[in-house]
A and B are shown apart, each in its own frame.
Chain A
Amino acid sequence: SQQGEEDPQALSIQEGENATMNCSYKTSINNLQWYRQNSGRGLVHLILIRSNEREKHSGRLRVTLDTSKKSSSLLITASRAADTASYFCATDAGGGYQKVTFGIGTKLQVIP
């Protein structure tokens, strides 16, 4: 089974609203990354949070990590139509990228 699992699988919101996506994982991790994928194209790295960090910000993105609950959340504030994409979490449990597992993603639709 996937190490990282995003929830919800799909999310539809109005432009200007906030979007929250969650990621749960099963084993201890070194870091967790969030990526965005537009329309089945390549993934774009958004943010990396290390296991000793609890929160990280990048522009309109806010990522939290709760290692006790083995979960992370990605918050996009003041969403825009251009944020419409699939969002993936990737967990690194050690061993390099060959061991990094990606979830199946949350498909976000932002309605103008």
Chain B
Amino acid sequence: EAGVTQSPTHLIKTRGQQATLRCSPISGHTSVYWYQQALGLGLQFLLWYDEGEERNRGNFPPRFSGRQFPNYSSELNVNALELEDSALYLCASSFHSGSANEKLFFGSGTQLSVL
């Protein structure tokens, strides 16, 4: 069974550009979560998608957005990139939506560097 896959592995952008990150959840998982992990910080919750809908978002500006496709894969878009957006972006999926009693399965992440 394939795990959560993310692409690209690394992404280098300049300030002001847009970045698009992609995630494919484990087959059968409908919930996709996006987290930002900046250097030296814990994981910060960004977005939660389930059944194609955005269910919740963390304390991030609107230039962080995304969507979930009918096949449950997801895309994270970051517009007007700033230097502090440089971080590891992790996608995770779970089987049951909204419940934190099920473990999360994480992808290997996309390392975004903003120059």
Contact = CB atoms under 8 A, between A and B. Distances in A.
Interface of A: 2, 4, 30-31, 33, 35, 40-45, 48, 50, 88, 92, 95-105
Contacts, number: 75
Contact of A42 (B56, B58, B101, B108): B108
Contacts of B104: 43, 45, 97
Contact of A99 (B57, B88, B97, B100): B100
Size bracket of the B interface? 20 to 34
Contact of B56 (A2, A50, A98, A103): A98
A30 B99 CA distance: 11
A95 B88 CA distance: 25
Contact of A40 (B4, B88, B100): B88
Interface of B: 4, 31, 33, 35, 37, 40-43, 45, 48, 55-58, 88, 90, 92, 94, 97-101, 103-109, 111
Contacts of B98: 96-97
Most chain A CB within a 10 A radius of its CB, from B43, B100, B104, B105: B100
Given A98-B48, A98-B58, A99-B100, A44 B33 contact: no
